[in-house]
A and B are shown apart, each in its own frame.
Chain A
Amino acid sequence: MKIVVNGAVREIGSSPTTSLLFVLREELGVTGPKAGCQQGGCGACTVLVDGSPRRSCLLPVGYLDGAEITTVEGLGTPMSLAPVQQAFVHHYAAQCGFCTSGFLLAAQAYLDRGGTDDREAIIEALGGHVCRCTGYVKIIEAVAAAARGDTFDLTTTAPGKYTTVAGGAR
């Protein structure tokens, strides 16, 4: 069977009952999705499957023949961050970073379905994600900023690290 990971077609050799998380990390070497609790409780392994957020640790890869998978590697690059990634940088929404890729993809899915900067709606949308650094306030602020379409000059926020300025234009 084949799956499309961040635009690239990949042949899969694992058994159909293998979790997508295992396939991504161990068979394909795509390590953006993190193996946290591996029972659906932490959200760190969240990826987009045909644009819809899923816990990759709980998803049998046998369901995914032909599916398009987006991991954080497919969201943006350091030189061209997605708007939600820019918002995370600007609002210091990442601390240790282990939960960040899961939060980013859940946030991207929230924005894709028309999510607003309403605090309660963001909390509900991100409710399955755990940040053990407890950085929730900044994460919620970042998602709200991305939902409003705020623009950031990351050359000031993080000098020398990013060249992205406003809205992912570069």
Chain B
Amino acid sequence: MTAIPDVKPAAGEVVIPTSAEEAVEAFGDGSGVTLVGGGTIVLADMNYGRIAPSRVVLLGRAGLAGIARDRSQVTIGAGTSVQDLVGLAAPLGPCAANVADIEIRLQGTVGGNLCAGAGGEVPRGDLQGAFLALGATARSAGDDGIGTEPLEEFLTRRDERLLLDVSFEEPAAGAFASLSRPHTHDYTALAVSGVRTPGGELRLAATGVGSWGQRLPSAEAAAADPEQAGRAALGDVDLRDDALASAWYREHTLPILVQRVLVRLEEAT
């Protein structure tokens, strides 16, 4: 029998940047770097030996946390805890409150949640739908320096980038609807976020319909009739079975969640 070592040897190189600049430098072009935000995803993988990173950057002390407002523009640092979003207006506040449980929310970060890789057995990225509905932009660093782009574009290459913050214009109205949770610590099985912009534009997005959050353009186009919009949403998604819900179940519940969001948006406007 092998004795349990009382000290764990370093898992390759570990860097703990203490500023955003140091974090960007430590990330470099991102090759071979495993980023840790709050640790709620990566540490679990390391505990079980599913990953053995050669170079880890621990972002928790990089000063990336905080929520700033400039008139109607809201900027949320990638290191902000999910719990810090709970008090914000819909869709973001209720979407954050729906994530896991308080201990995970206190530890998990916006950056980690948005950038989580596809989870295999479960949909990850609980907050993606809400930020997509808000029309958020992502500021990130990578091999071509620091740049800002729509979150939708960022998500497609999020594993090559270091997310610094996300920004959006405060909506005129927002709404969120989710499947009720069988247990608080589950990932979001299915949820819909909706936003009415000050200019009157409607945006709908869902979490749990695929490996990451998605806009629902057909539902947006049919929004005048919430019931029809709910059915139209099914044309925007490619539903699948996973550990949290079957495609069949999602097919029957997505239209209802879309309807609820549209009705709540109408009430809030």
A: which residues have CB within 8 A of B? 13-19, 22, 26-27, 38-41, 43, 46, 52-55, 57-60, 62-63, 106, 124-125, 127-129
Contacts and interface: CB of A to CB of B under 8 A. Distances in A.
A27 B43 contact: no
Contact of A62 (B16, B44, B48, B100): B16
Given A14-B8, A15-B10, A55 B47 contact: no
A25 B184 CA distance: 27
Contacts, number: 104
A40 B100 CA distance: 10
Interface string B21-51: 0000000000000001011100110111000
Interface of B: 4-11, 14, 16, 36, 38-40, 43-44, 46-48, 53, 56, 58, 60-61, 100-104, 106-107, 183-185
Contacts of A14: 7-8
Contacts of B46: 17, 19
Nearest to B103: A53
B61 A15 contact: no
Given A15-B8, A17-B11, A26-B5, A40 B104 contact: yes
B61 to A, nearest CB: 7
A40 B4 CA distance: 22
Given A16-B58, A60-B36, A52 B106 contact: yes
Which secondary structure dominates where chain B touches chain A? loop
Nearest to B184: A127
29 contacts: A14-B7, A15-B9, A15-B10, A17-B10, A17-B11, A17-B46, A26-B4, A38-B47, A40-B44, A43-B101, A43-B103, A46-B103, A53-B102, A53-B103, A54-B107, A55-B104, A57-B43, A57-B47, A58-B38, A58-B43, A58-B104, A62-B14, A63-B61, A106-B102, A124-B102, A124-B184, A127-B102, A128-B100, A128-B185
A55 B14 CA distance: 21
B190 to A, nearest CB: 19
A91 B127 CA distance: 39
B60 A128 contact: no
Given A58-B38, A58-B40, A58-B44, A106 B103 contact: yes
Given A127-B101, A127-B184, A127-B185, A59 B107 contact: yes
A152 B7 CA distance: 42
A40 B185 CA distance: 8
A106 B184 CA distance: 14
Contacts of A43: 101, 103
Contact of A38 (B36, B44, B184): B44
